[in-house]
Structure 1
Amino acid sequence: MTLRDRVAVAGVGRTELSKNSGVSTLTLALRAIRAALDDAGLSLRDVDGVATHGVGDSAPAPVVAAALGIRDVAFMLNQSGGGGLSATVVGYAAAAIATGQAEVVVCWRAINARSEFRMGGTGRDAPPLAEFQYQVPYGYLAPPQQFAMLARELLDGGALDERVLGTVSVTQRANAARNPRAMLRTPLSLDDYLASPWVVEPLRLLDCCLETDAAVALVLTSAARARDLARPPVLIRAFATGGGDTLYSTRRTTLAPSAAALMAPRLFGAAGLRPEDIDVAELYDAFTPLVPLQLEDYGLCPPGGAAEFILAGQTAIGGRLPVNTHGGHLSEGYVHGLNHVAEAVDQLRGDAGDRQVAGARTALVSAQPGYVGGVTSALILGGSR
């Protein structure tokens, strides 16, 4: 059974993006869910499914379901894991609706990642990864350290240089300047990027995503029901997962291409589309090297052509394939991937204001491409306008 166009995103809700929300992750989740239901024109009485992911830093699905007053939860997804799972929350919820397990599912990610549980910060439980015991003695713990290894391989191999990484950061900041929700809106130049301090060489401060307190929620229901609701439905054309290797896998001799390269043919096949059919791409950008990597791994530019594609301005609004039109994790805020889905919905509804991509009908949304936790996922969404 195909998922294609059977389920739709009917509502989107967001809280403010900030460095200190002043409230719990449960409160953030409930505020975003309420906003998403209002956007869809639905009520709490309509909800019979809940779905989220987290790494011990959020309000779990059973707690949120109870707080919403859902007495008989027909579908519940409470995934333990990070950014590689961000698309699975939506994909699995869509599958539950398509197979009749639930009728209306709310998906969310709530995180106090600046004021409370910082990624890689102290005071956290060790992740349940066997290789972690081999990292701790060397102080190799935080995400910037991990992804610096990928950046070093790409730079040393000649696939990228600092101008390319800088252009990713500068271009996404220009997009964020058009986004009233974005945390960082001051324009950047390449000189600004080059002057930013090292975090873990070769990654500078402006190569790294923001630490953000926020929540984003989506309401999913059948495409047939969504057509009668308050907002234009955005259809889920395809969903796929992939992976199996991590940064430390003994099966890998190189870090590129990523797990997304293996998954991409299945994703596009499920959608009945080709990479050149994508109008806008919201690519997981915890760190700048992930953008050129995924452009090639998803076939969105020619093999070996990501650097030229980016430097030529093709990922800017008005370019061949606008990427991270909201500013992405680098400049809008880091809501662990779900804000990318919300931005794709805005684009396909025509709700993106000054950052709207003209004629956007199809969007690719990717999760972290599999390096941490060994899993990746992605969605292709289609507009109905």
Structure 2
Amino acid sequence: MSKFVPRVFSGMQPTGNLHLGNYLGAMLNWIHMQDTHECIYCVVDMHAITVWQDPKELRRAIVDVTAAYLACGLDPKKSIIFNQSQVAEHAELAWILGCTGRIGWLNRMTQFKEKAGKDKEAASVGLYTYPVLMAADILGYHATHVPVGEDQKQHLELARDIANKFNIDYKDAIEASGFADGVFFVPPEPYITGPATRVMSLRDGTKKMSKSDPSDLSRLNLTDDADTIARKIRKAKTDTEPLPTEKDGLKGRPEADNLTGIYAALSGESLEKVLGQYGGGQFSVFKNALADLAVARLGPVGEETKRLQADRGYVESVLKDGSERARAIAAPIMRKAREIVGFIVS
């Protein structure tokens, strides 16, 4: 019983529009993995309420982000696509794993410190325990691989620590349940790939592109029209030097590094080839080429996203079907977890 199916789990919060960083840093990998793995992709609405959300806006955002998932190329026939709150096993398992994990582990989570800021006492308990719920998201499906960005690697390490401790704490009960090697929760592996796994702000090449940045010029939203995409690219911050001809020349030039990396990721070409074509030239020429490329790649995604957002009935049917399929996997795992920790299972 300890043979685990290669399974991918990942998700995004329904807060703000998805942007180029989400597309290049995660979505392209998600799409490719549909053909090589069993994939579960979640809209993590429970994570979203770790900070207050307007209920009407949250309901709309869940549908809108799902529409973007589909517009980018996620196929509900190939993958399970659902929203987290529809599968109660996430919350139930989070409690068990919260009793397995340790305060000291959570105290080391740097993302909580960044998001809570100076007034940690005013932060929600949910924001603090967010990584435990993330662990439940992953372990509750016996996921073996998780596509994550650099900012989530620490949370994935916590999920691995919790999985290992659970397996140690309940070793005898796990083996009695038929898992001969004493492994019930497989420690998930990170899956980090792609030429632009970390896309930076168009206004500051030292900061990650973010939905929460107050400047809309800092990001390319997947719903931006062609004119908006081109305008944002042409207004992107650069330095005064020509583009370098070799990769080493990008050191210490964050904006040049970011824009050429975006071009490479959108075109599918190597960074060396991009610099070979545009190196030595002025940014104005390169920006025009990048704008045309971005419009060609992202324009159709934006149009399809808007079309799907207008067809709420279809998007909600995808979520309903996905939640039923997700629950079919999570429910027996959760039932076995209850049995292992000693709960009475009827």
Normalised TM-score (structure 2):
0.28
Q: Looking at secondary structure, tell me which structure has more strand per residue.
A: 1
Structure label with greater radius of gyration:
2
Q: Looking at secondary structure, tell me which structure has more helix per residue.
A: 2
